[in-house]
Structure 1
């Protein structure tokens, strides 16, 4: 039996900004195909631009994790969530962060094993 083909790293974009609606609006504008995963730090907002997925041509899969710094207090939650979601990797991943204070540390975390071979970090977006 031939070995499975190596997986291409998943294009991943970190989106920061204080207002959830602005971050989600920026993400909604970038969704250009099916199989997009949006990992959002924070609680659900029924008025979110991503809440009405029928308005998007290719609605994303939205996963929310509890608010908190994803490189500090939320590191374990992020690690478990990513490991679970990457079992069936989407075509694209957006990670929405409420605060850009530790985005450098988060990028370093996502650039280290095992994520260095699974994710391809794109330029960050500030909304």
Structure 2
């Protein structure tokens, strides 16, 4: 039997703080073992802190479907090996959001991720 796909939400917004705040609210609502990939550095003090039930990775800002593709792929693969129930990806630039979503919906991620609607902050 195949493992259940990880519920995955892309979160975009004007600032790292807005994206983190939106993800923090979603985490509070769901309460599941979750992983978060955040693009860029926090605005001041980070809102999200790693814990036994929350994995957090930060990656350099840049287009995640173009120049940041390899970094995102490595980070995503590493987190998926930990089998989170939910995954949130904070995206700084919404310009290529449809391409990023298409990339995540293609093999091999189509068998691993269940894409939820995009959250705009």
Q: Tell me the TM-score normalized by structure 2.
A: 0.90
Larger radius of gyration: 1
Q: How many residues align?
A: 119
Residues of 1 paired with 2:32 and 2:6: CA distance?
A: 14
Q: Once the two structures are superposed, what CA deviation does each residue of 1:17-61 show, in whole Å capped at 9, x if it has no partner?
A: 12111110011011121411110011244423214x68xxx8622
Structure with bigger helix share is 2
- State the Cα RMSD in Å: 1.8
Asked whether the equivalents of residues 44 and 64 of structure 1 are also in contact (C-alpha less than 8 Å), the reply is no
Asked whether the equivalents of residues 16 and 42 of structure 2 are also in contact (C-alpha less than 8 Å), the reply is no
* Unaligned stretches of 5+ residues in structure 2: none
Q: Tell me the TM-score normalized by structure 1.
A: 0.86
Which residue, out of 71, 75, 78, partners 1:84?
Answer: 78
Which residue, out of 32, 35, 39, partners 2:33?
Answer: 35
* Unaligned stretches of 5+ residues in structure 1: none
